Chain A
Amino acid sequence: MNEISEQFPPRGASQGLASCHICEKVSPISDVKCRRCGSHLHFRKPDSINRTIALMIAAVVLYIPANLLPILTIRELGIAREKTIMSGLVEFWQMGSYPIAIVIFTASIMIPLLKIFSLLWLCGAARGLIPCSAKVMGKVYWITELMGRWSMVDIFVVAILVAMVQLGNYMTVTPGPGALAFAGVVILTMFAAMSFDPKLLWDRLEQKTSPDSNISDCE
């Protein structure tokens, strides 16, 4: 017996019990499908770390065009100006709208980067490459999952401007390719956070204290 298993109640996977990923009912893994809602049963989300990393790589690749390509084009009296996420932010800052500039900076630049770094950190910790406290990591995961949606705010701003600023020859706004790339980044990082299983962090912690534990093979 090790310190952790003495301190806490036993874990389900060590007794052949799995919690359904949809409805969270605990059933024996031999049932194959959840008796309550019919979802497939797994001890841990299938192929969790590989899927998370694959989705993260796709998000990182898309992050480049998302920031370099214009998210919208403004045509004012025949003169076209292309706006990227960064130039929109700078404009708000120069206008003196600091609170809005900070909101845009947080949602469009800080959150996607933080998500990418924290998910890589979590994957490293679950693989045992980075030392971690599962309690802190569990919180990091929870925050990562919670804040992802707010990055979509810039896409909605583009949609609203395109819908409203159709003033004939005076001024029109059209969407740019950067908007598609940025929406892709947000959606991919959301899927990446969903495919990560925070229980893997506890498996790693358990394994460290008792090397004979086999829970880490459940993935």
Chain B
Amino acid sequence: MHVAESVSEGYGVNCARCGATLYQNRPASLARVSAFSLTALLLMTVVHTSPFIIMDAGSLRTTLTLPGAAHALISQGSALVGWGVAVFTILTPLVLAGGLIYVCVPLLFGRIAPGAMFVARWISITEPWNMIEVFLLGVLVSLLKLGKVAELQFGMGFWAFGILMFCMAAGVAAIDKKELWDRLEVAKTHE
């Protein structure tokens, strides 16, 4: 157990016992979380509507979108796996980015949104289940398999997804979760 002392922006504190980082005061945390999460949310609309890859095999053309991949599994008899893909690549990033905006934007103005504690709990629970970077690796592996079969083109969705992945990672990493909880607690007592 350590007594928590405040640290200046950009610094952190380590555990004397195991050496793990206990908490960090990351620079401009709230503003950066809000900016990256908002960008991520806007990019999601592009990612879910425009194709990742366009494949031409003879006269046939098929396209890949995130909801399309989940839907294909559901309609081809692997409903459970399909819903899993939807949860890990569509629902979880949405809860994470949406939740962070909902909690952090009012905190920027020193206020607390109604139910912010509940939303913050859900952010902690969903964080390990966000798998968009794993999906991008899956796209790259699939490209090699499909490259033998047909002609492939990258769509707008692919590039938007790359930026989305960066924004999600940057948004989640911009604030120490303990700092977020501390700020929520302070905002609540000042209400």
Question: Which A residues lie at the B interface, using CB under 8 A?
Answer: 8-12, 15, 17, 22-26, 36-39, 92, 97, 100, 103-104, 107, 134-135, 138, 142, 145, 149-150, 152-168, 170-171, 174-175, 179-180, 183, 187, 190, 194, 202
Contacts and interface: CB of A to CB of B under 8 A. Distances in A.
B95 to A, nearest CB: 15
Given A15-B1, A24-B181, A159 B121 contact: no
B1 A12 contact: yes
Given A24-B181, A37-B181, A168-B60, A153 B16 contact: no
B1 A153 contact: no
Nearest to A198: B18
A6 B127 CA distance: 37
B142 A23 contact: no
User: Main SS of chain A's interface residues?
Assistant: helix
Contact of B124 (A15, A23, A97, A164): A23
Nearest to A76: B149
Given A24-B178, A37-B117, A175-B76, A155 B1 contact: no
A24 B81 CA distance: 33
A37 B120 contact: yes
Contacts of A175: 73, 76-78, 81
A160 B60 contact: no
A158 B81 CA distance: 10
28 contacts: A9-B2, A9-B16, A15-B1, A22-B121, A23-B124, A23-B177, A23-B178, A26-B1, A135-B18, A138-B18, A149-B129, A152-B88, A152-B134, A152-B138, A153-B134, A156-B131, A156-B138, A157-B145, A159-B82, A159-B138, A163-B62, A163-B68, A164-B142, A165-B149, A168-B60, A174-B76, A175-B77, A183-B84
